[in-house]
Structure 1
């Protein structure tokens, strides 16, 4: 574990990261919504799961992330596309998971 769990971190440890995301959302109110996770094990990181590659591209553009900063991974019949970027002292991890159409038989659900 990346922290001394005795006592475990409190929600206060996550406050700065969550505030950073809130300020970013205020500055970019039209970005696609996301599933957002902040975990006490990584209090300076916020994970942002988007619905698909188009949403990730919109976030990438808003954050001015170069296309070569994207990482593509393959997991069975799925692909995982992600990037990370700092927002102040917060690490923002933005990603999406989607079907790998090159390996999914036509008409089937991954």
Structure 2
């Protein structure tokens, strides 16, 4: 799992998505400490059927998010907790064969030691 949306991981569901964090506008500029954080996702990515969007207005960082307020730390984890709960209600059951095992794939670039 890579990228800022990795905290949306829901085992067996292959969630894919895009994070977005934006400073809120104010007269003559932007409020630097006021964010809107969004994570737009789809699942299951091997056959996308559903879209889930989580949007937070001025999220606050917590110890769990290392006090980060951006979407990868705030909105994406919401989707990661929601998908396993709503998937079965929508007829999508977890399937661990959907999870990609990269352990036997050769690296294109060797690891630095």
TM-score, length basis structure 1: 0.26
Q: TM-score, normalised to structure 2's length?
A: 0.26
**Which structure dedicates a bigger proportion of its chain to helix?**
1
- RCO comparison, higher one (Cα < 8 Å, 6+): 2
